[in-house]
Every structure is written in C-alpha cells, then in structure tokens.
Structure 1
Amino acid sequence: MQDVQNREDARGIAIQRVGIKDAHLPFLIKTKEGGFQQVLARIRFTVALPSEYKGTHMSRFLEILMPWSQKPLAEPEMDKMLMEALDRLDAQSAEVELNFKYFVEKTAPVSGRKSVLDLDCCFKGRKERGGELEFQLGVDVPFTSLCPCSKEISQYGAHNQRSVARIQLRFQQGVECIYIEDLAELVEKQGSSPIYPLLKREDEKFVTEAAYENPKFVEDILRDTVLAMRGLEGLAWFSVECENYESIHNHSAYASHEETLA
C-alpha cells in the first residue's frame, strides 16, 4: 500500500509540532515509596516534521505509548519513550505531555484519620536528537488562605478561602527531580493551613484556628513559595501561580512569578 505521509511536499514549511492530542491511557507513575500509582493520563505527543514530508504517521504515536503505559514511569522512561519517537518517526525533536490526577495520603491533624487528596499533575518531556531530556514537572497544590486585612478590621472573625498554587519546575541536567509528594508538602506549608479531604470536628477546630493564626495575602503566599522554590538544590527554572478563590467577592486574587536560577 502507498505511504502517502512520506510523499514530498513542495510548500517549504517545516512543522514544529505534529502528532496526537487528548489521547487517554492508563499510566503507572513511580511513587516516593518505590512503588507506583495507576493514573488516567490525558496525553499530547508530537514530533517536528521536516518541510519535505507531507505528513507524519499518527498511528505510530499510540504504538509507542501502549507498551510504556504498562511500566512504572518517571524521567528515565520518558527519555526512552522520546528516543523511540525520534527513531521511529525519523524526527529531530519530540515532545510528550501527560496530565493526570495523582493522590497523596493525608492524615488529619488531631483525629489521625487518613484520606487521600487528589492533585492535578503534569509531566512534560522534550528531546532533540543527540541531546539530553528536558523534563518539566507541574503540580497544582490546594490549601487554605485567610485574609490579614479581614482579621485586622473584624471583631468576630476573618474570611478565608480555598486557594491553589500552580507550580512548574525544571531541574539542572543530572539532578533528580523532586517527588510529587515532597513538592506538595513543601508548597502547602506556604498557605495559611493545609486542607484535608476527611476531617472530624476536632480536626476542623484545629485547622480553622491554625489558619486564623497564620493570615496571608496572595502576595505573601507567592513570596513564601518563591523562597521555598529557591531552596531546592539543583533547580534550574520554576514558575508559580497563586490564586485565592475569594469567599466575599465574585473574583479571585491572583499573583504569579517565574525565575531562571544560575
């Protein structure tokens, strides 16, 4: 049968990214404890297409993904996956992005009840032929924030809200990336209080009072998170977005920052 994709194209336009988007597959994500957690990933998988080719072979992206979806995945496996894409699709660069829910265990502060908190996470990998893997981790970390101004001017209490810090980071070549569990724990400490899926009355009292004693504006949370990111050894670049879903307004409070480290 004719290979239409390999026909020549005379328009002289190289395509930077071509492939598949919004494919869904189960994946096994390596955990801090040495095991793995099964997740459902939404995937974008692309390669660069030279100007002389009419198209790429879309079926090969899924052929590459299928075996890797059955093995515990982290940076080394993504490197091999992208190398396979470069070879099988005769490309100079390849990129893959996996978006998924990851669950971390939480222990209520007083009752000790255990539950699991879902985090929106992202693995991004990019590789050029002959180059090193560029790996980027993304995690959205929720927590509670309490308004310092409200506490200062109110006689009876202060308004608080659920907040989220959206973290993206890259480590230097040869430095192992931080585990999702450790990053989530580090970031949630920058808010007024962590959040927990399961709380008994004694826990609710504890976290409410803890937040009241630790009021923070969105600017405070952002700056404290930036300082925490700067403390990670071997970090090359990071970005932080903080959003407070205001409880007394119909809009959010927002702050963002990014840095490239030496």
Structure 2
Amino acid sequence: MNALTLPDIAAQASRQALPLEWVGMCGIALPVLLDGQRIAAKADAGVSLNDGEARGIHMSRLYLALEMLEQQNLTPALLRRLLQRFLDSHEGLAHNAYLRLHLDLLLKRPALVSPLAGWKSYPLSIEARLKNAMFHVELKIQVPYSSTCPCSAALSRQLIQQQFIEDFADQPLQHAEILAWLGSAQGIVATPHSQRSHAELHLRLDDFLDELPLIAVIDDAENALGTAVQTAVKRADEQAFALANGQNLMFCEDAARRLNLALRRSPGINACQLRVVHAESLHAHDAVAHSQWNWES
C-alpha cells in the first residue's frame, strides 16, 4: 500500500487574494546565547505575505530557523542572517522579515562600599527587521533606580529647622548637645520621600554595529541617574546609598533630561525615545516624563 502524501493546505490558493503585512508566531520559548549567558527568551517571528494569492506562510520554517539563536552569540550580524533565512525559506512569498526577542538580562553589580555583589535583572526587548532590503535593530531596556523628591527634601529641612528653633530657643548652643540632637529622632523630625523608579529606553541602533551595546547603555543610564537600585548590601552600603540619594534629588523631569543628554553621547545609538516613571510614595499615582531625539515614527 502506497503512503499517502500529506496535504499542504498553506500551498493552496487563497480564496480572497490580499497581501498581508505580517504573518508569524508570537511567544515562542527558546534559549538565547548572549554574552556567554544562555538566557530564556520569548520570540515573535514573522514575515510579510506579499503574494496575495498564497493561502499562508510556512511557519515551521521560521521556527526551525530560530535554532541559530541557541548556537551563536547574539549580535546584529546574527540577527541579519536569521532574517535573511526567513526570507530565503519564503522566496516568492515574502519581501520583509521581522523578529522580536523578550528576555531579562542578568548583570552582576557590586555594592557601593562593601565587597558584596549581586545579580540585577533588566527587562529587555530586541527588535530586528529586514524591510525593503534595509536592516534595522531597536532595543527596549528598562533600568530601575531610586529617586528622592526635591520638594519633599526642602519641606523636611524646613521642619528640622523649626524643631531646632523650638528645642534650642534662648539656650546657649553646646556642641555635644547639638550633635546628640542631630542623631536623635527628636531632631530629625521629617525625612523626604523616595521612590523606586524606572526608565524605559527605546533605542535605534546604527546599522553596522558589531555588538549589541547592552551593558554600555545600561551603564550610561545608571551613571546619568546616579542612584541605581542595589542588590546585596551591608549597613555601610545602605548608608552610602542614603547619602547618594540625599545628594541626588530629582524630579522625573530631571531624570528624563539627564538620560536624554547621556544617551546622545552613547556610541552606536542614532535615535532615542525614553519614558521615566517615578512610582510616587506620596501619591497613589505616578509621575511620568517623556523625551526623545532624532526619532521619527
């Protein structure tokens, strides 16, 4: 008995001839090799369906091509080869290819003072497209940090001044008494509010980079913001962090401007769109600021 040929429904003609801009799969689980780390990721992979007469694309060919990401370190050159494979496997059907990767980049970060270190996770998306023979890569990176409100700090200082006047009115000032007062809860009657904040960076890269500038971008952002959140700490690190916050007061507007200027100087970036979010501890809503340069939709 002869084996039956399995039907290829996707190769049949479409009943409604119409090209489609994007066809593919979303949320494909796979490991990605990035800077020597094997990281769990989710991929969205697709191509355009330019042949409006075709019923569909060959999704399994896209899926199998993604194995390249398991075997080779993730670079712009690898992304371009992968997209070209998408197109080669859909010759006559597709003109454009797309890939988006979602993952968490793990970086080991040192403590501020002590010899401790710990891992910090940075949510990351990498989007590559080969469209009309033009290759582009974009990054989306989320960077957490701490922000202390300048207004709250000024109001707290004023309350401390008022308490000092009340406690030492018409008294001779003694160094030891003042020192004890400054170290007591009675003296420091108010503290400014701080909040865990984050920056959402959307970056378009130069077309011919050899490497993805992930760590460089994160370092530039954290240096510009000045108060990156910590991992493992001792009391000395916590005190150093309190000092850094006290000397680094900023509104969300300040953070957005700092990042804008810093990322303009980052090599390999030709356009930027950013959003900062300060998750208010005073309010039940967030403070948000947007900024961009050289960005066109």
TM-score (norm: length of structure 2): 0.82
Residues 192, 216 of structure 1: 8 Å contact kept: no
Deviation at 1:188, TM superposition (A): 1.5
Quote the Cα distance in structure 1 between the aligned partners of 2:252 and 2:193.
13
Aligned to 1:69: 70
The worse-fitting range, judged by mean Cα deviation, of 6-15 and 139-148 is 6-15
Aligned to 1:109: 112
Structure 1: gaps spanning 5 or more residues: none
| Pair 1:19 & 2:24 matched | yes
1:112 alignment partner, SS class: coil
Deviation at 1:157, TM superposition (A): 1.8
Quote the Cα distance in structure 2 between the aligned partners of 1:177 and 1:222.
26
| Pair 1:41 & 2:44 matched | no
Quote the Cα distance in structure 2 between the aligned partners of 1:137 and 1:17.
20
Aligned to 1:179: 213
State the 4+ residue runs in structure 1 displaced beyond 6 angstroms: none
What is the aligned counterpart of 2:250 among 208, 216, 220? 216
Structure 1 residues 219-234: aligned runs within 5 Å:
219-234=253-268
Quote the Cα distance in structure 2 between the aligned partners of 1:5 and 1:82.
21
Bigger strand share: 1
What is the aligned counterpart of 1:28 among 13, 33, 40? 33
Residues 204, 270 of structure 2: 8 Å contact kept: yes
1:144 maps to amino acid:
S
TM-score (norm: length of structure 1): 0.92
2:10 alignment partner, SS class: helix
2:225 alignment partner, SS class: coil
Quote the Cα distance in structure 2 between the aligned partners of 1:192 and 1:181.
16
Residues 217, 263 of structure 2: 8 Å contact kept: no
Structure 2: gaps spanning 5 or more residues: 1-5, 160-189
Structure 1 residues 43-58: aligned runs within 5 Å:
43-50=43-50, 51-58=52-59
CA gap of 1:226–1:18, structure 2 versus 1, over 3 A, is: same
Quote the Cα distance in structure 1 between the aligned partners of 2:211 and 2:281.
35
1:210 alignment partner, SS class: helix
User: Size of the alignment, in residue pairs?
Assistant: 256
Quote the Cα distance in structure 2 between the aligned partners of 1:138 and 1:201.
34
2:284 alignment partner, SS class: coil
Quote the Cα distance in structure 2 between the aligned partners of 1:66 and 1:27.
9
What is the aligned counterpart of 1:202 among 236, 245, 264? 236
Deviation at 1:68, TM superposition (A): 2.8
Deviation at 1:201, TM superposition (A): 0.8
